[in-house]
Structure 1
Amino acid sequence: MRMKVKAAVVNAVNGPYEFEELELQELQANEVIVKLVASGICHSDEALRVGDAEFPLPAVLGHEGAGIVEQVGAGVRDFQVGDQVVMAYNSCGTCPSCRTGHPSSCVSWTTLNMSGARADGSPIFKKLDGTPVSNFFTQSSFSTYTITNVNNLIKVDDDADLRLVGPLGCGFLTGAGTVVNGLQVKVGDSIVIFGTGAVGLGALMMAKVEGCATIIAVDIHDSRLDISKKLGATHTINSKTENLAERIADITNGVGVNFSIDTTGVSAVMKAAIDVLGIGGVTAPIAVTPNSMEMNSFMDLVLLNRSVKGILMGDAIPQLAIPKLIQLHKEGKFAFDQLVKFYDFEQINEASADSNSGVTIKPILLIDKTYRQNEPLPQ
């Protein structure tokens, strides 16, 4: 008998999350069933919900899930029932990119994570009337249970609190990985981070860990900039009330910065992230956005040996990076717990709205409230 689950379904572009009973399909050899404990909400979920990125609907979104292995497929060897896991993105594991340590550049990445189905085209979820429901990232964490691929999974220690660590699977991984793997900053470098949401602050915290001497946070909300200071920004700029170019010139003695990251996806801001670069500088526009930017390739890039670099998922290997981020958190060097707010699963529309408005930096949905119910929520 196939398992029935409770899931938050998006049935139409810009529609709300609607709770429905769905049916999990047959488990394949390289898959596991995960009982979700909690899931972060990411702006990528919102981009799909409102149609900024094309995706087949109806769908169960969510891609920052953490839970407990409930059942394993016949071919699974490295996981067993009861394991605590965080879920990230899927990759084939065998293409040249995967083999050389760049699974986010997997030749099948789009098919595995954005097609809404398994690699063979079959669905993971169906409605009770038989209608296929798309999955996201081969994960779909906005559900009480889900089927996911072993390549999505990161085993975490039993002392890890699954109510907290799910967002390490995308937002914080992307920010931190962009700094370490994509830009490969060095001790003493300078960096400007545009947008201080989860991705931007993940980048900011990792820039501090890596020894950047100048870390400039740019936002239009003073409250976010205050948080940035606490987490390691050496300078903050409110680009709504201050002259960005003048402030950057003043901070860097007129030479510009080595690196910049844009997490906003706003056309003018992506261009500004180029303009603040010094000679040989590199910018990474990493937001999921329908917007584009205009630039003059010679004046903006060639003349000053600048570069624009696309970096997906922080070019990170989740199975290596996420345990390191958990360890950094234990050491007080990656304090992402200061950025989260917990919501009941049934409050998903409220949590999504709070994320969109900026009220909450990183919402986390509590899906299984029996997990560690006698322990206080992580602070």
Structure 2
Amino acid sequence: MRITAAVTENKNAPFVLTPLELDDPGPGEVIVRMVGSGLCHTDLVVRDQRYPVPLPAVLGHEGSGVVDAVGRGVSYVAPGDHVVLTFNSCGGCRMCLRGRPSCCDRFAACNFGGARDSDGAPLRRDSGTVHGLFFGQSAFATHALATERNVVKVDRSVPLELLGPLGCSVQTGVGAVLNSLRPEAGSSIAVLGVGPVGMSAVMAAAITGCDPIVAVDLNEQRLALAMELGATHVVRAGEGRTVSCLRDLAGGLGTDYCLETTAVPTVLRQAVDALNHGGTCGVIGAPGDGVDASIDMSRILFGRTVRGISEGDSVPRVFIPELITLYQRGRLPFDRLIRTYDFANINQAVEDFEKGTTLKSVLTFA
């Protein structure tokens, strides 16, 4: 079928709206007509080739839309269903079988390979192939080819154009707290970096009953919003007092939990240094390959833990509907993070996101 997609032609290039041909769905595949698509930091990391995804490609991995067609063997969804698109996984490896698809042994191939295992890329133009299936979807397009495994059927009563971020950034931030760290009510937590993922983590910490909840960032507007969404305290980063402030706010001994969302090595060091005995630091930021961080080994003693968190350790078919229920009950107002842009204005959405004037850009499709 003929579609329009925002193509990333080469490293650091702007997105170019381009007509492409999209394959029909094969066995286990689904075509989704896009209604909304969130812009995520990972899309820009790939655009800039800090992850080696083959170009030219169609990126985008926070899609929401309506099922248009299904391939042979698909039974979970049918044409007309409202869905959120999320990360892909193989379904058969040891981690998938243990209910941990975000740690799938084939995560890189399923999400960053740019093509089917055997049939190549599903996108074409007169000048050749365009890589697709980014995170099993390539959602910067009017239509996306996904798999039955990475679509999640959702309630039709919820504004579909807003739901795409549930597939990655919101799921990651909320899941890091509720699924990964699982803090006890009354425990202290610091979130270093309150972009979309960090802000979602702040909201989750409030749901859990953490106290204090400390948001750390350079952006004053983001810190103000974090206070409105559940933070009890804020710390302005970049003033050389982050670690001491976090320790003081947590009673002098340090925090029970920290989340590092920035992918900046010095911030990770601050997060670990701010932990108390027995504390845990979750690492979410995506720095690209080959980025080293220095940690004082003595700080890991006395039970401190540093652990990586991918996609909020979620099982999307279970977790995304739970996030929607929290939103409907007013406990997870993730819509306050969002500013919408017409698909044709994708480069403006990117510019505003990179400048920090927009927290979460979401592209909408007429």
Is contact 2:172-2:312 (8 Å) kept?
A: yes
Which 5+ residue runs of structure 2 have no aligned equivalent? none
1:132-211 superposed matches below 5 A = 132-211=130-209
The residue aligned with 2:358 is 360
Q: TM-score, normalised by structure 2?
A: 0.97
* Structure 1 residue 240 displacement after superposition: 2.6
Deviations 1:169-204 (A, max 9, x none): 000000011111111212111110001110001111
The residue aligned with 1:300 is 299
* Structure 1 residue 138 displacement after superposition: 1.2
The residue aligned with 1:317 is 315
Give, in whole Å, the separation in 2 of the partners of 1:193 and 1:232.
12
CA RMSD of aligned residues (A): 1.2
* Structure 1 residue 93 displacement after superposition: 1.7
Give, in whole Å, the separation in 1 of the partners of 2:162 and 2:129.
33
Which consecutive segments of 4 or more residues in structure 1 shift more than 3 A?
Answer: none
Give, in whole Å, the separation in 2 of the partners of 1:319 and 1:52.
30
Find the partner of 1:239 among 218, 223, 237.
237
The DSSP-based 3-state class of the residue aligned with 2:165 is helix
* Structure 1 residue 242 displacement after superposition: 6.4
Is contact 1:117-1:138 (8 Å) kept?
A: no
Which deviates further from its counterpart, 43-52 or 287-296?
287-296
Deviations 1:118-161 (A, max 9, x none): 23352121123332423311100000011110001100111121
Give, in whole Å, the separation in 1 of the partners of 2:93 and 2:142.
32
The DSSP-based 3-state class of the residue aligned with 1:226 is helix
Q: Which amino acid aligns with 2:292?
A: S
Q: TM-score, normalised by structure 1?
A: 0.94
Deviations 1:311-365 (A, max 9, x none): 1111101111111111111111101111110100011011011111111000010
Give, in whole Å, the separation in 1 of the partners of 2:342 and 2:327.
24
* Structure 1 residue 74 displacement after superposition: 1.2
Q: Which amino acid aligns with 2:321?
A: P
The residue aligned with 2:46 is 48
The residue aligned with 2:264 is 266
The DSSP-based 3-state class of the residue aligned with 1:85 is strand
User: Number of residue pairs matched?
Assistant: 364
Give, in whole Å, the separation in 1 of the partners of 2:144 and 2:49.
24
Is contact 2:244-2:274 (8 Å) kept?
A: no
Q: Which amino acid aligns with 2:164?
A: G
Is contact 2:170-2:196 (8 Å) kept?
A: yes
* Structure 1 residue 243 displacement after superposition: 1.7
